[in-house]
Amino acid sequence: MMRGVRRGCVRLRGAVIGIDDEDDSTFTITVDSKTFHFQARDGDEREKWVRCLEDTIIRHAYGYKSQSSLLLDNKLSLTIQDFDKKLAEADAYLQILIDQIKTLETRMSSFDVEERQRGEVICNHANGMLEQMKHTIVLLQIAKNTAHPVNGSYQPLPDAGSSKPIEALGGHAPLPIPQVVPETSYSSSEEEDFYDAHDSSDPPSLSSPVSTKISENFEVGESDRDAGSDHTGPSSATPSSAPTYLKADGSLDYDQLYEDTEETNISMESQGSVVTHLLSQVKIGMDLTKVVLPTFILERRSLLEMYADYFAHPDMFVKIADQTSERDRMIQVVQWYLCSYHAGRKSSVAKKPYNPILGEIFQCHWNIEAQTDNEESTLITDGPVPWCTGNQLTFIAEQVSHHPPISAFYAEHYNKRISFNAHVWTKSKFLGLSIGVHNIGNGVIHVIDHNEFYVVTFPNGYGRSILTVPWIELGGTVTINCEKTGYRAVIEFLTKPFYGGKKHRITGEIFGPNEKKPFVTITGEWNGIMEAKWADGKCEQFANINSLTIIKKKVRPIEVQEENESRRLWKEVTAGLRLNNVSHASNAKCALEQKQRLEARQRKEQGLPWETKLFHLDADDNWCYVKPLSERLASNNARLNR
Domain ranges across the chain: 8-62, 67-153, 321-555+611-636
Strands (E), 188-318: 213-215, 218-219, 298-302
Nearest to 489 by CA among 457, 464, 461: 457
Domain 321-555+611-636 has CATH 3.30.70.3400: no
Q: Are 156 and 147 in contact (CB under 8 A)?
A: yes
Q: Are 104 and 116 in contact (CB under 8 A)?
A: no
- Per CATH, the number for 8-62 is 2.30.29.30
More confident call, 213 vs 638: 638
**pTM of the shown model:** 0.66
pLDDT band at 85 (very low <50, low <70, confident <90, very high): confident
Q: How far apart are CA 365 and CA 388, in angstroms?
A: 7
What digits encode the pLDDT tens for the residues 275-322? Answer: 555 666 666 777 766 666 666 667 888 999 999 999 999 999 999 999
pLDDT band at 34 (very low <50, low <70, confident <90, very high): confident
Q: How far apart are CA 430 and CA 463, in angstroms?
A: 10
Strands (E), 374-434: 392-401, 406-413, 418-430
Task: For residue 294, give the DSSP letter.
Answer: P
Q: How far apart are CA 482 and CA 474, in angstroms?
A: 24
What digits encode the pLDDT tens for the residues 377-400? Answer: 689 999 999 999 999 999 999 999
DSSP annotation string for 79-148: BHHHHHHHHHHHHHHHHHHHHHHHHHHHHHTTS-HHHHHHHHHHHHHHHHHHHHHHHHHHHHHHHHHHH-
Residue 374, SS3 per DSSP: helix
What digits encode the pLDDT tens for the residues 317-342? Answer: 999 999 999 999 999 999 999 999 98
What digits encode the pLDDT tens for the residues 52-69? Answer: 888 888 777 655 544 444
Phi, psi of 174, deg, nearest 5: -70, 155
Q: Are 143 and 279 in contact (CB under 8 A)?
A: no
What digits encode the pLDDT tens for the residues 412-458? Answer: 999 999 999 999 998 887 777 778 888 999 999 999 999 999 999 99
